Amino acid sequence: MRQAYFLAAFVLTGALGGVAPVFAQDPDSHPDSKPAADATSAGNPSADYEESIVVTASALASQAGELPASATVIDSAEILARQAVSVGDLIATVPGVAVVVSGPPGQVTSTFVRGAESDQVLLLWNGVELNDPYFGAINWAFLPADGVERVEVVRGPFSSLYGGNAVGGVVQVFTGDHDGGQLRLEGGGDGYARAGLAAGHSFGDWRLDVTGHSRRGNSELANGFFDSDELVAHLAWTPSAGVEVGLLARANDSTSGIPLSGGQPSLERMIDWSERQIVIPVRIEKGRWKIDSQLSQVDFASAFRDPQDPFGFTRSDTDSQARRLRTQAAWQPNAQLGLAFGGEIERLEVSDSSTFGTNLEEADQRTWALFSELSFNVGPLTLDLGARRDDNDAFGAETSLRAGIGLRLGDGWRLWANYGEAFRPPTLGELFFPFSGNPNLQPERAESFELGTQWRWTEAPGGDWQLSLVGFQNRQQDLIDFDFVTFTNVNVGRSRSRGVEASLGVDGQRLDLRANITYLDAEDRDSGLALLRRPQWSANLVVSLTPHRDWRVTLTGRFVDDRPDVDPVTFSRAENPSYLRFDLAAQWQASRRFAPYARVENLADEEYAEALGFPAQGRTLIAGVAVAF
């Protein structure tokens, strides 16, 4: 019954009218919403297609309203309005995206996009891949929102541009420049305390930006603590017009207690996680040419400990490293034609040991790749073509193709369709882990089709309205599964995901709304069973109200339908009940430099588990203050 009420509410707000795949905000579009120069203001979390430039979906930066693809942009205005502290919280309200947290904050967090596996989503941080080379997954719990300028979520296959892992989609996080600084101090129940900093300054041809945070806190569960510290620094030098050389570095150290194991309390189980990224980006823009080159090194280190483990598995240590050089050039002689091409070199390495000995000792693989993309516009017609060739010393070569076509129909209507191929390469753990590893594994392969339509009404009563509807189908084969007969990994799995995403966006002067609903049919084609942790129905709502120029109130709602899961005790399939969660955030711009704020997470104190057997945190009140300097 609750599901019916919630879906009816979305019908009443118009969410079933269509999907708006891109919502990029313009914080200056409504001057009544905030003081013009406030560094602490929440801004305007509304939508504006024509002003949004998306760089993740194409090697050629494109306006969101022209792309033959589904992309969502979340900018700094919405991040501040929602008072989000993690990227995982932000993307959880994107259509087609399911974020699963195994308990309170700091626990393992997975993301499924359009039914694809969590290790089939590519995460980029300022262009740098953050998927762990060991088994390809991402722990979104350790990716904060401090200093983030915008997040782009592109749904669908993009191996033609990025190579492996971009099967379900790509999430890219961009940090930005900061004029002056802002300090955010907040605290709440269970010993929660957090300080966040974002500051920047220019020194002639040089610019330095620094962001970071320090977090401490427990949860309602014993041993459910989560402590985290991060520092990001970006130094940029502009020796001449159109030339920029930078140095970007990030360090994150987090420690989480693991309160439950096999459905039972675990009072000493914990994991230490460390990330180090260092990037040297170079950008050159001369006339019709633009060249971007980036040399990066990413290091992960994890240390698992459990002195009370009944099976004697008390220790596990893993060190992973990824080194990459990526260069691409773009040539745009006019507004109708664009050509991009480039190459990438990658080396991955993993070492792993546990209580029972060494598992991997500097296991490595190398990849060389070439890619190209052509964009062509003729009147109302847009055509995008892309291709990439990856050559890997472990699994051989892989070719990925992509084609998209868009058509403007007039009166605010737009239609697009695309086809894409993608693959996920076997990871170093799947290839070489003792006993289960199989060095003969081939990549997981996928092909996807998408058809979408969009309508924008710029002169609508109450603001700018955007509606769209997207249908998709994704078929996968050669999925890597564990064979209990041979006790090795083999390419035998098949799956199919298909569905519809619908959204509504309203950009008003006082009220801004973003709502979406997703239907997903995700099936294991070998067993005929629904894929685990993929809800058939899900819906999201973000409403931001500006009752006065100094106030901003934002309500976020998320509904997730019943979905199959695994019982943590018996390991058999079981159904995880649906849930409905609301979060409420408010901020008062008391002065130009001082803004108190508060939020209530899980407003209704809903009892639910995103992963079966791992209860989510109950109602939590957090208060803080933002100080600009």
pLDDT of residue 34: 34
Task: Say if residues 180 and 39 touch (Cβ distance below 8 Å).
Answer: yes
Residue 328's nearest CA partner among 391, 280, 283, 386 is 283
Compute φ and ψ for 342, nearest 5 degrees: 180, -175
276-309 pLDDT per residue, tens: 999 999 999 999 999 999 999 999 999 999 999 9
CATH number (domain holding residue 370):
2.40.170.20
Q: Examine the pLDDT at 37 and tell me if it is beyond 50.
A: no
Q: How confident is the model at residue 509 (pLDDT cuts 50, 70, 90)?
A: confident
Task: Say if residues 370 and 388 touch (Cβ distance below 8 Å).
Answer: yes
Relative to beta strand 413-424, strand 444-460 is antiparallel
pLDDT of residue 6: 40
Least reliable range by pLDDT among 14-18, 311-315, 419-423: 14-18
Structure-model confidence comparison of residues 570 and 327, the more confident one:
327
Task: Say if residues 215 and 228 touch (Cβ distance below 8 Å).
Answer: yes
Calculate the alpha carbon distances from 218 to 187, 196, 228 in Å. Answer: 12, 18, 12
Residue 577, number of CB atoms within 10 A of its CB: 14
pLDDT of residue 15: 35
Q: Which residue has the tokens 């991009």?
A: 340
- Indicate the average pLDDT of the chain: 90
Q: For residue 598, what are its two tokens? A: 């508060």
593-624 pLDDT per residue, tens: 999 999 999 999 999 999 999 999 999 999 99
Task: Say if residues 215 and 227 touch (Cβ distance below 8 Å).
Answer: yes
Chain-centroid distance, C-alpha 538: 17
Across 508-593, the runs of DSSP E, i.e. the strands, are 511-524, 537-545, 551-560, 563-566, 573-576, 579-588
Q: How confident is the model at residue 463 (pLDDT cuts 50, 70, 90)?
A: confident
The SS3 assignment for 66 reads helix
Q: Which domain holds residue 83?
A: 2-628
Q: How confident is the model at residue 52 (pLDDT cuts 50, 70, 90)?
A: low
DSSP conformation class of 39: S
- Segment 44-70 shows an average pLDDT of 68
DSSP conformation class of 46: -
Compute φ and ψ for 59, nearest 5 degrees: -70, -15
Task: Say if residues 152 and 56 touch (Cβ distance below 8 Å).
Answer: yes
Rg of the chain over CA atoms, in angstroms? 23
% of the chain surpassing 70 pLDDT:
91
- Segment 42-53 shows an average pLDDT of 44
pLDDT of residue 53: 74
Residue 143's nearest CA partner among 81, 257, 228 is 228
Structure-model confidence comparison of residues 15 and 503, the more confident one:
503
Q: How confident is the model at residue 25 (pLDDT cuts 50, 70, 90)?
A: very low
What is 348-384 written as a DSSP string? EEEEEEETTEEEEEEEEEEEEEEEEEEEEEETTEEEE
Q: Examine the pLDDT at 404 and tell me if it is beyond 80.
A: yes
Alpha-carbon distance of 59 to 54, in angstroms, equals 10
Buried b (16+ CB within 10 A) or exposed e, 424-460: bbbbbbbbbbeeebbeebbbbbbbbebebbbbbeeee
Residue 192's nearest CA partner among 627, 620, 626, 625 is 620
Number of domains in the chain: 1
Q: How confident is the model at residue 462 (pLDDT cuts 50, 70, 90)?
A: confident
* Helix (H) or strand (E) run with residue 429 in it: helix 428-432
Across 393-508, the runs of DSSP E, i.e. the strands, are 396-410, 413-424, 444-460, 463-483, 488-507
Alpha-carbon distance of 247 to 209, in angstroms, equals 11
Task: Say if residues 305 and 266 touch (Cβ distance below 8 Å).
Answer: no
Q: Examine the pLDDT at 96 and tell me if it is beyond 60.
A: yes
pLDDT of residue 64: 66
The CB-side HSE value for 571 (13 A sphere, CA atoms) comes to 2
Q: Examine the pLDDT at 46 and tell me if it is beyond 70.
A: no
Q: How confident is the model at residue 61 (pLDDT cuts 50, 70, 90)?
A: confident
Task: Say if residues 66 and 31 touch (Cβ distance below 8 Å).
Answer: no
Task: Say if residues 552 and 544 touch (Cβ distance below 8 Å).
Answer: yes
The SS3 assignment for 560 reads strand
243-273 pLDDT per residue, tens: 999 999 999 999 999 999 988 899 999 999 9
pLDDT of residue 59: 84
pLDDT of residue 57: 87
List the Cα angle 228/296/285 in 5-degree steps. 120
pLDDT of residue 58: 87
Q: Examine the pLDDT at 41 and tell me if it is beyond 70.
A: no
Q: Which residue has the tokens 């901020």?
A: 587
The maximal CA–CA distance of the chain, rounded, in angstroms, is: 68
Structure-model confidence comparison of residues 15 and 326, the more confident one:
326
pLDDT of residue 2: 41
